[in-house]
Structure 1
Amino acid sequence: MSDFSVDRRVWVLSGVAVLIGVCATFLAVLLLRLIALSTNLFYYHRLSFASVSPAGSPLGHWMVVVPVVGGLIVGLMARFGSDKIRGHGIPEAIEAILLHRARVDPKIAVLKPVSAAVAIGSGGPFGAEGPIIMTGGAAGSLIGQWMHVTDSERTTLLVAGAAAGMSATFATPVAAILLAVELLLFEWRPRSLVPVAVASATAALLRVYWLGAGPLFQMPALPDLTRVSFVIGALFLGALLGLVSAGMSRLMYWFEDRFDHLPIHWMWWPALGGIGIGVGGLFFPRGLGVGYENIAELLRGNAPLGLIVGILIAKSLMWAFSLGSGTSGGVLAPLLMIGGAVGALAGHLAHASADAQAVWALIGMGSMLAGALGVPLTAILFSLEVTHCLPALLPLAVACVASYIVTAMIMPRSILTEKLSRRGYHLTREYGVDPLELVLVKEVMSPLALGEENLTLPKIYTYADSTTRSAAELMATEGVERIPVIDRANGQACGELSLHDLLRGRGRSVVRESERLRLYSYVPPELGGHN
């Protein structure tokens, strides 16, 4: 009857989570280095781990061919290695958690980062975060497969690796924990939250030595953000980004449907997607690769209009077309860039100052993330952690919630869960207390039949003051449809609980959700009312 179900196993999992945090950080650093190496090999024909942009390549028109070669390599890896490397990375992690007992094939831990490095290094307009989340989750799952743990504990270790990978990539330990809760854990319990937080914090600490302390993006000095007009503007911008995020999701899956109708094997699709990347990169070279430098320029408030329009048109089409082809890459960085461009464009149209344009770009980024992924809390904290821009909290929160409610009302699924739906799986993203947890056994139990009052203590029973949820779990475990109820005070049988009784307890939540009552109405004293 305690508030939380937690035992000493949480300390074991937390200790393992430290190791997972170390592994995930190493894998994140390795993937970022592999992306840099691939970019140098594809576009500069040299062995180097220096971080460079494909936009400065001297290849000229031959740059069109590079993404095609990269897509062909990814297609071959997926065909003869594992098709699980295709796609965003996060939907695959969710699928492993819900459908495969949190078991990830060891090949994924190797093939996913390599394929992502090839896809992004050859110009793919993707983010590294999705593959890193999947790779970190694979590491956590593998460690969990080597241990004697339950499926729930293995899930916790998988999610701990995923959160650590995100924390190491972006220096966002709190946002990584919230992403785990909003998107991966499907619960809010100390037994899982604590190990995930330990892994995320470990990765954030180690990141300082390998990648720097952060913030990932610097922001200029900010204007006054507490004005009513600014908050109202953020509300409307957030609602607009909700529509944009829904449109981007539908555009990407529209392209995916077009590829599904092609009369060739899916192994060749990433190469065809590479054609779209190459042609788009020919007109807008800054659309190639991850493009963190574009996000940084948007958040400085000095992005030229040409860059903003290029992101909104060329980058959006390149990303949606190529990701629809089934190649390997993440959605987070491109969505941040597109959302930031919408916010920066709004600042341009409003003739805002450079500092104010930077804030509008930040609000656009957070709103896009909240709407597209359906994670408003993560979007708020993520935007603050990557910029350390705490004064933007109020308008950012308003905009992210506005974007979230717009997409929740017009989109049945997010850009991530839509992938699972197309594979025939449905999941709900709404969390709440089990209604049976709020109903005691004595409130719905049936009386004993005549002559059974002196019933001896049976082997399987429940107490009258227990929750119906605990009784339901006991009945499910023992495979029985009816169970005696014991009075804890005197140890005597006082009733019995059946499946029908449990349904009556469950029905209370239906009434609570559907019945509308006016509990207070004012009647003037002259008509018989009371003061």
Structure 2
Amino acid sequence: MPRHFRPLGRRVLWIATLAMMLGAVVALVARLLTGLIGLVTNLAFYGRVSTEFSSPAGNHLGLWVIGVPVVGGLIVGVMARWGSRAIRGHGIPEAMEQVLLNESRIPPRITWLKPVSSAIAIGTGGPFGAEGPIIATGGALGSLVGQLLHVTADERKTLLASGAAAGMAAVFSAPISSILLAIELLLFERRARSLIPVALAAAIGTGVRYVLEGNEPMFPMPDIATPAFSALIAYMVMGVIVGVASVGITKLTYAIEDGFEKLPIHWMWWPAIGGVVVGVVGYLMPTTLGVGYTNIAAVIAGQIGLGGMLALCLMKLLSWSVALGSGTSGGTLAPLFTIGGALGGVLGLLCVAWLPWLQVDAKVAALVCMAAIFAGASRAFLTSVVFAFETTQQPHGLLPLLCGCATAYLVSGLMMRNTIMTEKIARRGVRVPTEYAADYLERISVADACSRDVVSLRASQRLGEVREWLSTEQVAARHQGFPVLDEGGRLLGVVTRRDLLNGAVGGDAIVQSLVHRAPLVVREDHTLREAADHMVEADVGRLVVVGGKDMQQVVGIITRGDLLKAHAQRLREAHEPSRHLGGKSAT
């Protein structure tokens, strides 16, 4: 008899406990990573020993600043070649690949190689944020815990996602968006058994951040007024523009990566070459160097003018896309937020100047486009909306965020097959789920799908008689399995057509002699998902459906074909338009 589905089992208590401990550890690791980035930044740009989180923009190196990202890129290239190639890039695609293909097993060395390489890349001016590396590091720590302990692949995936969510929550003080990021980009599901541990890990990670750094919003901005209806329409249009931009940015990034692939030198040197561009751009516009969190805060607070935001948008895009395409170690979130926020600020100021009747707030436009560009590039729609809210703590920004992110998501989905997170692994043949729908088989009971015209055999029948009947009876010809009943009508087992026609068994043998194991049965109140899982576990193609007071009365048979037929209604609902009024056809 198949197991009835249970949303939670006691084992989730153990996984949740591990996730909470993991959340605390990852939050401390996040603190160490930011300190390490600060140390490398201060050494590289200011020649001082300090772990204070500093911006490279205030350096006085002059032209020598061009060489700093080159040296950082060279070190990262060496670490990637003789450490692990998995440290290249922003880490989320690699984590997704391990979840989908390798039972969430990330090599243990990534737990230290990724943060160290990222600290070097960012600390020497790389235009990345700290959140990408800590998400990858937290995921690697969760995977390591899952490999050291006796857990299932599903539980290991939950621990991986818990570590990643705790890392993002600890960096941004954004627990809800961290949970959503784990659901949209790592778990590929929303089940209680995985959601609860991830939520607890994110909560603990945020709590540790509160203790260490306080609970102020990551990107403070002036209070937002309730938006006018005309402004909401404008934010939707901006979302369309940013959605197109997100597609272009994704294609640009991978075009640059393809260009590096064609270089006649080993990939170890590519980050150093990318560092040349980072250094030149950083010399021309120092604010493009490093994580750039202060840039994001300044943009959404309205502290940068039109020309400054336009230059920041273009120069940050150039620096980041070349650096990421070169394969150095870094993230995508902060650079995209900077680019999108600056673009939104430009659009907002133009609306204020040219279309004042729209009542657009330039600061809100920057906030909306900051989130919308990530929604379009990654299609992590809910993550983008909630992240912008949590990091600014502006509730009146939620409605504009929904408008802009939804249209950006729509445009991206129509124009681009893969995302900035999935293009790399899709090229390697990895199929990434993009839609998370309720299992259709869970909605249908066995009683609604099973075949009722059961053809059964008596245990005492001779095989010769049965074989003659099989060759002449048309009803029997349509069946491949037959329940075997005793004289009292009780189920003894099931025999297949192949069993009955086996020439090695003489015709004088009785049917009961072919029954070698207890019958595999299912009740009418089981779901088709439970029945399908039972078939897979037992390696059979059919189950006898039983009922009655003692559950021994045969009422039907459910086969693999019946499971496939059940999907016909799902396909009709998805693809066949219909018009109904009051439950009847409108024709």
TM-score by structure 2 length? 0.86
Q: 1:521 & 1:506 partners in 2: Cα distance?
A: 25
Instruction: Write the mapping of 1:367-406 to structure 2, written as runs, cut at 5 A.
Output: 367-406=372-411
User: Given residue 336 of structure 1, which amino acid in structure 2 is its aligned partner?
Assistant: F
CA contact (8 A) 2:225 2:396 kept: no
Q: 1:449-488 counterparts in 2 under 5 A?
A: 449-451=455-457, 452=483, 454-456=489-491, 458=493, 459=518, 460-487=520-547
Alpha-carbon shift at residue 433 of structure 1 (Å): 1.3
Residue 562 (structure 2) aligned to one of 501, 507, 526: 501
Deviates most, 491-500 or 131-140 = 491-500
Q: Counterparts of 1:297-312 in structure 2 under 5 Å? A: 297-312=298-313
Question: Which among 147, 150, 153 is matched to residue 148 of structure 1?
Answer: 150
1:229 alignment counterpart = 230
The aligned residue for residue 448 of structure 1 is 454
Give the number of aligned pairs: 524
Q: What residue is the counterpart of 2:112 in the other structure?
A: 110
Q: Which residue number corresponds to residue 208 of structure 1?
A: 210
Letter paired with 1:39: T
Q: Match for residue 578 of structure 2?
A: 517
Q: Which residue of 2 aligns with 1:526?
A: none
Q: Following the alignment from structure 1 to structure 2, what is the Cα–Cα distance between the partners of residues 329 and 216?
A: 20
- Is the 1:238–1:403 Cα contact (8 Å) retained in structure 2? yes
Q: Does structure 2 conserve the Cα–Cα contact (< 8 Å) formed by 1:120 and 1:290?
A: yes
CA contact (8 A) 1:17 1:195 kept: yes
Quote the residue 1:366 is aligned against. 371
Match of 2:126 in 1: 124
Question: Displacement of 1:489 after TM fit?
Answer: 4.1
Q: Which moved more, 1:420-429 or 1:327-336?
A: 420-429
- Give, in whole Å, the separation in 2 of the partners of 1:391 and 1:223: 6
Write the distance in 1 (CA, Å) between the matches of 2:566 and 2:71. 60
Please give the alpha-carbon distance, in whole angstroms, between the structure 2 residues aligned to 1:222 and 1:515.
Answer: 44
Structure 2 unaligned regions, length at least 5: 458-482, 494-517
Determine helix, strand or coil for the equivalent of 1:351.
helix
Q: Distance in 2 between matches of 1:169 and 1:488?
A: 59
| Deviation readout 1:453-507 (Å, 9 max, x if unpaired) | 6352543211122111111111111111122111154521122222111111122
Residues 4 and 345 (structure 1), Cα distance of their counterparts in 2 relative to 1, 3 Å cut: farther
Amino acid at match of 1:434: D
Q: Would you say the 8 A contact 2:139–2:160 is kept in 1? A: yes
**What percent identity do the matched residue pairs reach?**
45
Residues of 1 paired with 2:224 and 2:5: CA distance? 43
CA shift, 1:397, in A, is: 0.9
Paired AA for residue 414 in structure 1: T
Secondary structure of the residue that 2:203 maps to in structure 1? helix
Preserved contact between residue 312 and residue 342 of structure 1 (Cα < 8 Å): yes
Contact 1:483 1:496 in 2 (8 A): yes
Whole-Å separation in 2 of the counterparts to 1:518 and 1:336:
43
User: Which stretch shows the higher mean deviation, 368-377 or 434-443?
Assistant: 434-443
Q: Distance in 1 between matches of 2:4 and 2:534?
A: 17
- Say whether the 8 Å CA contact 2:161–2:187 is kept in structure 1: yes
Secondary structure of the 1:493 match is strand
2:545 aligned counterpart, secondary structure: strand
- Structure 1 distance, partners of 2:128, 2:319, is 10
Taking the aligned partners of 1:231 and 1:269, their CA distance within structure 2 comes to: 44
Q: In the superposition, relative to structure 1, how do residues 489 and 432 fare at CA in structure 2: closer, same or farther (>3 Å)? A: farther
The 3 A distance-change label for structure 1 pair 457 and 188 is farther
- Distance apart, 1:211 and its partner CA: 2.3
Distance (Å, rounded) in 1 between the aligned partners of 2:61 and 2:372 = 37
- Pick the aligned partner of 1:158 from 160, 183, 188: 160
1:430 counterpart = 2:430: no
Q: 1:25 to 1:521 in 2, by over 3 A?
A: closer
What SS class does the counterpart of residue 495 from structure 1 fall into?
strand
Residue identity matched to 1:368: I
Which range moves more in the overlay, 290-299 or 444-453? 444-453
Preserved contact between residue 446 and residue 527 of structure 2 (Cα < 8 Å): yes
How far does residue 5 in structure 1 lie from its aligned partner after superposition? 2.0
Cα deviation, residue 212, structure 1: 2.1
C-alpha distance in structure 1 between counterparts of 2:223 and 2:89, whole Å:
38
The 1:455–1:512 alpha-carbon spacing in structure 2 relative to 1, beyond 3 Å, is: farther
The answer to whether the 8 A contact 1:242-1:368 is kept is yes
In structure 1, how many angstroms separate the alpha carbons of the residues matched to 2:163 and 2:100? 16
- Opposite residue 527 of structure 2, the aligned amino acid is T
In structure 1, C-alpha distance between the alignment counterparts of 2:583 and 2:177, rounded to whole Å:
47
Corresponding position of 2:73: 71
1:314-353 residue CA offsets vs partner (Å, 9 max, x unmatched)? 1101111110011100000000011100111012212369
2-structure distance, mates of 1:305, 1:4: 56
Residues 1:284 and 2:285 are matched in the alignment: yes
- Residues 385 and 521 (structure 1), Cα distance of their counterparts in 2 relative to 1, 3 Å cut: closer
Q: Which residue of 1 aligns with 2:352?
A: 351
Q: 1:508 Cα deviation (Å)? A: 2.3
Q: Deviations over 1:84-117 (max 9, x none)?
A: 1001111111111111111111110000000000
Give 1:450 shift: 4.1
In structure 2, C-alpha distance between the alignment counterparts of 1:306 and 1:60, rounded to whole Å: 23
CA contact (8 A) 2:234 2:360 kept: no
Deviations 1:121-180, CA, capped at 9 Å, x for gaps: 111111111110010111111111121111001110110000000000000011111111
**Structure 1's 521 and 161: CA in aligned 2 closer, same or farther, altered over 3 A?**
closer
CA distance in 1, matches of 2:67, 2:291: 18
Calculate the aligned-residue CA RMSD, in Å.
Answer: 2.0
How big is each residue's C-alpha offset from its partner over 1:340-372, in whole Å with a ceiling of 9 and x where there is no partner? 001110122123699922111111111112111
Equivalent position SS for 1:48? coil
- The 3-state SS of whatever aligns with 1:326 is coil
Q: Residue 301 of structure 1 contacts residue 356 of structure 1 at CA under 8 Å; is this kept in 2?
A: no
Give the drift of 1:2.
7.6
Q: Matches of 1:165 and 1:488 in 2, distance apart? A: 54
Q: For residue 332 of structure 1, what is the aligned residue in structure 2?
A: 333
Are residues 306 and 264 of structure 1, via their aligned partners in 2, closer, same or farther at CA, if it must alter by over 3 Å? same
Instruction: Tell me the CA shift for residue 34 of structure 1.
Output: 0.9
Give CA-to-partner distance per residue, 1:169-223, whole Å, 9 cap, x none: 0000111111111111111111000000000000111101222212011111333
